[in-house]
Amino acid sequence: MAENLALAEINKAIRLSVDSGKVEFGLEACLKKALLGKGKLIILSSSAPKEKKEDIKRYAKMSKLMVYESPLNSRDLGSLCGKPYLVGGMVIENPGDSKILELINRENK
Q: How confident is the model at residue 5 (pLDDT cuts 50, 70, 90)?
A: low
- How do residues 32-87 score in pLDDT, each as one tens digit? 999 999 999 999 999 999 999 999 999 999 999 999 999 999 999 999 999 999 99
In angstroms, rounded to a whole number, what is the distance separating the alpha carbons of residues 92 and 108?
17
Give the CATH number, domain containing residue 25: 3.30.1330.30
CB 98 within 8 A of CB 13: yes
Q: Between residues 1 and 53, which one has the greater pLDDT? A: 53
The pLDDT value given to residue 76: 97
The pLDDT value given to residue 107: 77
Q: Which residue range(s) make up the domain with 26? A: 2-108
In angstroms, rounded to a whole number, what is the distance separating the alpha carbons of residues 65 and 77?
20
Q: Please, where are the H alpha helices in the chain?
A: 2-20, 27-36, 50-63, 74-80, 100-108
CB 37 within 8 A of CB 65: yes
Inter-CA distances, 67 with 23, 61, 80, Å: 14, 8, 18
The structural domain count of the chain equals 1
